[in-house]
DNA sequence: GACACTATATCCATGACGGATATAGCCTGC
DNA sequence: GCAGGCTATATCCGTCATGGATATAGTGTC
């Protein structure tokens, strides 16, 4: 299902886990485990990333420059030294937007196919 | 990324190829190769299914009862005996609708994440 | 003391994919 | 005449993303 590239080796469609991680980080910087909880919360439990999926996705995304690790950390009393915090990059934002547009046009396609009788 | 089932072993998210095939068959009964061309046409070339993906997807979908092979064929002068024609089942329609709703709510999620600046 | 939660990371099996390959008849251009 | 492309179906292979199990380890709860 080869769509287009978005410059730099990241092709669409984006792996679903990658898209969810980018959406979570678009809101604010987070560490891995917090992303896990945030995705579950935002999707009302519909999407629960497994730990394997999460950490391997983050590694891939670091290599592709979609996210970067931040040195900034919260005040020590709110922190946990084990955590690793991540921030979305401009490239990550661009890729996420491209994926969102792709999904939106896919929904449009479904609508014009006579599917989608009512609003979600 | 385990979402819910839609009764009978077919889980969401649907494999993208499966969703495209269902959308194509929602319009009218088609044979395999015609689905291939229709998907490419409807997505304006953005999605081109490989032959392996197409025929294995159809086999899986037959097993899951999402599509069925039809005995009805066009007039012999418009036909090709090699073709195998497929029709979407009520279950296939239900599954496709569920997937379309899932995608629509994913787009909504992206919108509320501050992504998606303009319409696709 | 057992269990659950936080937090990261790796391993394994499964599943979906693209592309190559196979087979084969048809048509077009050179 | 024959090379190449199109129609049409089907199988094989390597790759990639996934869920879940497992590992490690500190904290808190029952």
Contact of B13 with chain A, judged by CB distance below 8 Å, is answered with yes
Beta carbon pairs, A and B, within 8 Å = 100
Give the distance from residue A115's alpha carbon to the nearest chain B alpha carbon, in angstroms.
Answer: 6
Instruction: For chain A, 120 residues long, give each residue's pLDDT as a single digit of tens.
Output: 667 777 666 788 999 999 999 999 999 999 999 999 999 999 999 999 999 999 999 999 999 999 999 999 999 989 999 999 999 999 999 999 999 999 999 999 999 988 876 554
The B 23-52 residues near strand C by Cβ under 7 Å are 48-52
- Chain D bases near protein Cβ (<7 Å): 7-13, 16-23
Nearest amino-acid residue to C18, taking CA and C1': B50
Q: Which of A52, A100, A102, A112 should be substituted to probe chain B, the one whose Cβ sees the most B Cβ atoms within 10 Å?
A: A100
Q: Is the pLDDT confidence value at B119 over 60?
A: no
Q: Give the CA distances from residue B117 to residues A14, A18, B9, B111, in Å, rounded to whole numbers and listed in that order.
A: 18, 20, 37, 8
Query: Cβ of B16 and A13 within 8 Å?
Result: yes
Q: Which residue in the block uniquely carries the two structure tokens 């978005």?
A: A6
* CB spacing of A97 vs B115 below 8 angstroms: yes
With CB atoms and an 8 Å threshold, state whether B115 touches A108.
Answer: no
Question: Higher model confidence: residue A10 or residue B119?
Answer: A10
Task: Match 């980018």 to its residue by tokens.
Answer: A22
List the strands of the sheet with A67-69, edge to edge: A30-31, A85-88, A67-69
* Residue B68 near residue B86, CB atoms below 8 Å: yes
- Residue A56: CB partners within 8 Å, gap ≥ 6? none
What pTM was computed for the model? 0.92
The C-alpha atoms of residue A47 and residue B1 are separated, in whole angstroms, by 6
Is B39's pLDDT higher than 80? yes
Phi, psi for residue A42 in degrees, rounded to 5:
-65, -30
């Amino acid at each position: 299902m080869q769509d287009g590239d978005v410059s730099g080796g990241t092709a669409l469609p984006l792996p679903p886990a990658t898209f969810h991680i980018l959406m979570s980080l678009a809101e604010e910087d987070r560490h891995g485990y917090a992303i896990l909880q945030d995705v579950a919360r935002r999707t009302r439990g519909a999407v629960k990333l497994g730990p394997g999926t999460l950490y391997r996705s983050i590694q891939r995304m670091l290599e592709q420059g979609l996210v970067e690790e931040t040195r900034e950390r919260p005040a020590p009393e709110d922190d946990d030294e084990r955590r690793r915090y991540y921030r979305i990059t401009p490239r990550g934002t661009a890729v996420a937007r491209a994926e969102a547009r792709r999904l939106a046009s896919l929904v449009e396609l479904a609508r014009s196919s006579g599917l989608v009788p009512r609003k979600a």
